[in-house]
Amino acid sequence: MKPISIGICGLGTVGYGSFTVLAKNSAEISRRTGLEIVVSHIATRRIKEGQDVGDVKVSADVFAVAEDPDVDIVLELIGGYDTARELVLRAIANGKHVVTANKALIAVHGNEIFSAAKKKNVVVAYEAAVAGGIPIIKAIREGLSANHIQWLAGIINGTGNFILTEMKEKSSEFSAVLKQAQDLGYAEADPTFDVEGIDAAHKLTILASIAFGIPLQFDKAYTEGISKVTIEDIRYAGELGYRIKHLGIARKSEKGIELRVHPTLISQDNLIANVNGVMNAVMVQGDAVGPTLFYGAGAGAQPTASAVVADVIDVARTLSHPENAIPALAFQEGSLSDISVLPISEIISEYYLRIMARDKAGVLADITEILGDFSINIEAVIQKEPRDHDAHQLLSVIILTDEIQESIMDEAIEKIEALGAVGGKVARIRMDKLED
């Protein structure tokens, strides 16, 4: 059989990393596939200093790769939405298989892309789109395919995890640690996608789809960032035996699917609470297997390239019979469920509340009375003692609650904020036991 020809679109960190892995491990890859896999065409605006691609054909136009009749598999590694979407759809229209690391593309346009691929009987693989070098897509689609997945939760953005880790370990404010992350290259000049949860929501959308057999629905994912998490919140959480992590959580219930990214208090004894720095981790609960944990590097040239090349190998193995490939979203196309994604107002959660209240008699009683009126049970309270008895001094009152519906908590918080002795907004962080 003739060699499998690869066309790489984008020679950035992941693109060049994939090129080097394919070259460096070519013998091992051939042993695994029984096929020779070669890079025949690269599209990039320029070859950067230190990049050596040998005598491989190089084009400035990514669409030249999609139109190249000699290319069997197109690697879409340019990122973004519009150009990437057009490139992938054109490659599919030309009967080429596609491998992508583009989580935004899959989360937003995946339904359209997978439908087009099905009609042309080609494969679109996207392992590298979620959690870098952790093979979480393959684990859910294949290794856990005998299970009803009940829930999954993950630290799936390394930048946010680095920031919260540094805030905890060095008692540094969010703004200072964000600048540090930018200086180290972990965060972009515009960090919105990372710190506001958009990047994690792209990834969670994909994981939820393959876990529960639902269409991709990024527009229904709830996202909340970490920019409002304070040193005080991290310290108080620690005093109560918890850590704050920026989690993506997807859970299936009788009411529907929870699809949410937000700061979350979890027990410091939970394994995922001890995942620090830029590392990623995903917990998956299946009805047969129970809880499982997947941990590793969530980004970087070599870890992400590892996932890209693993997809190339999988596609190469199915080239002769692509109809036998595992469905893109793990379930057969006609078997996807129409179960609805719940709005955040309908989720049930425990809560951490930080209330800034004046040092006046009866304030805590007023707060607890309001919570009681809404049938919200209190699990723990920390009331900081004043340095001096100044009635105008604002003190922190920390309350952990039992489970309650979000919409009810919203009403209770509104009533608490209306108290004359309460200053400013109530800080609210959801809690999760990460159990059944």
- Using a CB cutoff of 8 Å and minimum separation of 24, what contacts does 169-172 make? 169/276, 171/231, 171/235, 172/231
Q: Which residue has the tokens 């935004």?
A: 104
Token pair of 50 as six digits: 């230190």
**Who's near 175: CB < 8 A, 6+ residues apart?**
none
Other C-beta atoms closer than 10 Å to the C-beta of 423 total 15
The domain 349-431 is placed in CATH, from the list 3.40.190.10, 3.30.479.10, 3.30.70.260, 3.30.70.980, at 3.30.70.260
Given this model, what pLDDT does residue 221 score? 98
203 is catalytic: yes
Read off the pLDDT band of 23 (50, 70, 90). very high
Tell me the mean pLDDT in the region 262-289.
96
Read off the pLDDT band of 109 (50, 70, 90). very high
Helix (H, G, I), strand (E, B) or coil at 20: helix
Q: Where do the structural domains in the chain lie, given as residue ranges?
A: 4-133+301-335, 136-297, 349-431
Strand partners, 61: none
What is the C-alpha separation between 203 and 107, in angstroms, rounded?
Answer: 7
pLDDT digits (tens, 9 = 90+) for 207-253: 999 999 999 999 999 999 999 999 999 999 999 999 999 999 999 99
Whether 4-133+301-335 shares its CATH topology with 349-431 is answered: no
What is the C-alpha separation between 101 and 17, in angstroms, rounded?
Answer: 12
Q: What is the CA radius of gyration of the chain?
A: 24
- The CATH fold assigned to 4-133+301-335 is Rossmann fold (3.40.50)
Query: Following DSSP, what letter does each residue of 253-301 receive, concatenated?
Result: -SS-EEEEEEEEEEETTSGGGG--TTEEEEEEEETTTEEEEEEEE-SSH
What is the C-alpha separation between 109 and 103, in angstroms, rounded?
Answer: 10
Say which of 96, 138, 203, 252 is annotated catalytic: 203
Residue 387 has pLDDT above 70, yes or no: no
**Who's near 322: CB < 8 A, 6+ residues apart?**
97, 121, 122, 123
Q: Which residue has the tokens 């965060």?
A: 187
What is the C-alpha separation between 429 and 232, in angstroms, rounded?
Answer: 13
DSSP assignment letter at 186: S
What is the C-alpha separation between 163 and 197, in angstroms, rounded?
Answer: 13
pLDDT digits (tens, 9 = 90+) for 141-198: 999 999 999 999 999 999 999 999 999 999 999 999 999 999 998 888 899 999 999 9
Torsion of CA 170, 174, 175, 176, to 10 degrees: 10
Residue 263 has pLDDT above 90, yes or no: yes
Query: Following DSSP, what letter does each residue of 199-256 receive, concatenated?
Result: HHHHHHHHHHHHHHT----GGG-EE--STT--HHHHHHHHHTTEEEEEEEEEEE-SS-
Residue 318 has pLDDT above 90, yes or no: no
Query: Following DSSP, what letter does each residue of 49-86 receive, concatenated?
Result: TT---TT-EEES-HHHHHH-TT-SEEEE-S-SSHHHHH
What is the C-alpha separation between 324 and 320, in angstroms, rounded?
Answer: 9
Given this model, what pLDDT does residue 334 score? 81
DSSP assignment letter at 424: S
Are 177 and 230 within 8 A, CB to CB? no
Given this model, what pLDDT does residue 129 score? 94
Read off the pLDDT band of 388 (50, 70, 90). low
Q: What average pLDDT does the structure give for the chain?
A: 94
What is the C-alpha separation between 143 and 292, in angstroms, rounded?
Answer: 11
What is the C-alpha separation between 241 and 245, in angstroms, rounded?
Answer: 13
pLDDT digits (tens, 9 = 90+) for 45-96: 999 999 999 999 999 999 999 999 999 999 999 999 999 999 999 999 999 9
Residue 384 has pLDDT above 80, yes or no: no
What is the C-alpha separation between 186 and 162, in angstroms, rounded?
Answer: 8
Are 79 and 304 within 8 A, CB to CB? no
What is the C-alpha separation between 299 and 158, in angstroms, rounded?
Answer: 7
Q: Is 32 left (phi over 0), alpha (psi -120 to 50) or beta?
A: alpha
- The CATH fold assigned to 136-297 is Dihydrodipicolinate Reductase; domain 2 (3.30.360)
Are 98 and 117 within 8 A, CB to CB? yes
Token pair of 431 as six digits: 């809690």
Given this model, what pLDDT does residue 321 score? 75
DSSP assignment letter at 422: B
Alpha helices in 295-397, H assignment, sequence order: 301-318, 363-373
Are 355 and 418 within 8 A, CB to CB? no
Other C-beta atoms closer than 10 Å to the C-beta of 23 total 15
Residues in the chain: 436
Lowest mean pLDDT among 75-89, 280-294, 316-330, 381-395: 381-395
Higher pLDDT, 44 or 387: 44
**Who's near 92: CB < 8 A, 6+ residues apart?**
98, 113, 116, 117, 120, 122, 124
Residue 1 has pLDDT above 80, yes or no: no
Residue 391 has pLDDT above 60, yes or no: no
What is the C-alpha separation between 243 and 236, in angstroms, rounded?
Answer: 9
